[in-house]
Chain A
Amino acid sequence: MDRFRMIFQYFQSNSESVMNGICGLLALASVKMYTSFDFNCPCLPKYNMAYGLGIMCLPPMALFLCGLILNRQSLVMLEEWKRPTGGRKKDLAIIRYMCSSIMQRAMIAPVIWIIVTLLDGKCFVCAFSGSIDPEKFVGFANITPTQTQLLLSKVPCKDDELMKNNPARKAISRYLKCWSQGLGWSVLLILIVVAFLARSLRPCFNQAAFLQTRYWSNYIDIEQKIFDETCCEHARDFAHKCILHFFESMQQEIKLRRFNAPMEEVDRGEGEEDHLRGITDQEQMNELLKSWYYSKPPLDVSQATQWQQSVGRERLSMPWADSLSNRGNAPQKAKTSRQTDV
């Protein structure tokens, strides 16, 4: 557990590490998905090509979109792209940088799927068994073209009666697999060469502008996160005050109703924390809960701060008189409404 926590903390240390971590997880998921997928070539003349190419090309697209979705930075980039200019100019270089960084990370899992597919060979054999030249292999002389196509399309299926004992089946299978693996390794080599060149040649082009772009794109990311955190903290305090005020107004109402009953609660010392907030029996609590449901307090604590100062003095200001008189009517709309004007 400790080990996981450390690894987790390492990846959380900055958002780039988080994205690298997600990227790696998607890549592993891609390999796992391929190995657990039960490949099932249809072995019919036209279906083979569609199935084989479909398995080779559709999951990568899904993985690519997954990579884009799971990356938090894509939202940040879209927001930066679409926002009105306002007081802050937009820098297209930043948007391009973020876009390229997102694309690079999102492309890793699809590329891994394609390469694993090619190196394994099943897909390729299934898709292209009908396209080879039967002259190269023994056992296809004196057969009509239609029959040839049928036999060729049965090559990927080992257990098919027509081709089970045909020596050409294994030869064709091996031939196609060899091409598939050759193609897979070539694709991998080309991609690695491109990645190497991109990595080593980048500092040769406009390094200063690159440093600036990187700093400001990092800044935008951090700013968004801190803004969200600030809003969360604010909402928490807002809610706290709102609810405190609600309890106090309940308390006040109860005091009003039985102003001649002994008030043990009032004599409590100032410094003591009163978690019961004056609600001390079942009836009061039920009243409070009903009121919370039918008539939530307005979203305005500016008066709450004034109210807090005058606690102890039994003074009611305007809004509370209204809500007191309407208490008990089912469901009442709150005074200052809950509609947003966004």
Chain B
Amino acid sequence: MRMDKFRMIFQFLQSNQESFMNGICGIMALASAQMYSAFDFNCPCLPSYNLVYGLGILFVPPWVLFLLGFVMNNNVSVLAEEWKRPTGMRQKDPAVLRYMFCSMAQRAMIAPAVWISVTLLDGKCFMCAFSTSVPVEKLGNGSYSGLSEKEMRRILARIPCEEIYNGRELVAREVAVRYLRCISQALGWSFVLLMTVLAFLVRALRPCFTQAAFLKSKYWSHYIDIERKLFDETCTEHAKTFAKVCIQQFFEAMNMHMGLGHTHSPEAAPSEVGEEKEKLLGITDQRTMNKLLKSWHKCKPPLSLHQEVLQNGNGWVEDNQHRNHIGLPKREIVTYYSKV
């Protein structure tokens, strides 16, 4: 039962690019939280470095996660391709492009939002960045004299580092830490609330605006995605069939070239023998096989299937016209088309 559920989920997520991206999106959000807890936060506790470090940890990883969300989304290249292609016989619809871009951007924004929320709710980053801006008059002994501005900043910069803090007389460390953490967590929760409200508004209000056009864009953007996937699959299938026929013809050509004439089976050959010989494709001794293997390396066959095989009007022949062609001697086609 559990396996079935898992398989269903797996298949559902695979069904199209959007579902797949939802899966990736969820994984990246979890990875983002995990990365934060695995990351060894290390405040430098020096006056100007604190701000740079703290804000850097707050903002650089979200950009990394956002761009990573785009990189992992195959639709990025589909979008660029659709944007840049020549119009040809199919018109371009900017609404479809906009839909694809919005859909990608929304998904890519989840992991950064998770990182920022987790960072703010945890508080270390904020504390590191803004420890020098603590209001000493409110929290501690504001009238502590004998300290230059620079010296005070240096002491305040050490607040995040418990073991070296030496400003007990100025302001108690626990007080400052609690103050900063409170502000950080308030900001964090506000951020979460803001994101959720935005998401709700976008979701709830969209049907109020041009729903018909939206349905059209959604359909055609799915279509472009599926069309591209099917095209790639068809090309792969075609390459497989092409390769099979090419290799079979290579074996036959080698056979003919050796002049062994094994394709002419003797009279009254039992059907069993015929089938087995079919499988051997006419190559029945060591010397021939060695010659075949050597020829495979030294002189691969041209990428051009013989006309006889393509009698049923396969349209791919035109693609291969520009490739080289060995003139093979005309030969009678007695042979079998084995199901290689």
Contacts and interface: CB of A to CB of B under 8 A. Distances in A.
Interface of A: 2-3, 6, 10, 14, 79, 83-84, 86-89, 119-121, 167, 170-171, 174-175, 177-178, 181-182, 185-186, 188-189, 192-193, 195-196, 199-204, 207, 215, 218-219, 222-223, 226-227, 230-231, 233-234, 237-238, 241, 298-302, 304-306, 308-309, 336, 338, 340-342
A79 B296 CA distance: 11
Interface of B: 3, 6-7, 10, 14, 39-40, 42-46, 49, 52-53, 56-57, 60-61, 63-64, 67-68, 70-71, 76-77, 79-81, 83-85, 161, 163-164, 235-236, 239-240, 242-244, 246-247, 251, 260, 262, 266, 268-270, 273, 276-277, 279-281, 283-287, 289-290, 293-294, 296-303, 323-326, 340
B209 to A, nearest CB: 28
Nearest to A211: B235
A327 B329 CA distance: 45
B235 A218 contact: yes
Contact of A203 (B7, B46, B77): B77
Contacts of A195: 67, 71
B224 to A, nearest CB: 13
A3 B84 CA distance: 41
Given A174-B44, A185-B61, A192 B297 contact: no
Contact of B80 (A3, A181, A202, A215): A202
A202 B84 CA distance: 10
B290 A340 contact: yes
23 contacts: A3-B3, A79-B297, A86-B299, A88-B302, A88-B324, A119-B39, A175-B49, A181-B42, A182-B52, A186-B60, A188-B64, A192-B64, A199-B77, A202-B77, A215-B235, A222-B236, A222-B239, A226-B240, A226-B247, A230-B247, A241-B276, A306-B266, A340-B286
Overall SS of chain B's interface: helix
B300 A83 contact: yes
A86 B40 CA distance: 59
Given A219-B243, A230-B340, A237-B280, A88 B303 contact: yes
A241 B262 CA distance: 16
Given A170-B163, A192-B64, A340-B290, A305 B273 contact: yes
B297 A83 contact: yes
B84 A309 contact: no
A19 B277 CA distance: 37
4 tightest Cβ-Cβ pairs between the two chains A and B? A86-B299, A299-B286, A203-B81, A178-B44
Contacts of B39: 119
B6 A3 contact: yes
A306 B287 CA distance: 19
Contact of B247 (A88, A174, A207, A223): A223
B243 A301 contact: no
A189 B60 contact: yes
A222 B246 CA distance: 12
Nearest to A182: B56
B46 A175 contact: yes
B236 A218 contact: yes
Given A86-B300, A119-B39, A309-B268, A192 B67 contact: yes
B175 to A, nearest CB: 23
A275 B141 CA distance: 102
Q: Which of B10, B49, B85, B243 has the most CB of A within 10 A?
A: B243
A242 to B, nearest CB: 10
A309 B266 contact: yes
Given A207-B85, A305-B277, A182 B53 contact: yes
A123 B71 CA distance: 30
A90 to B, nearest CB: 10
A120 B40 contact: yes
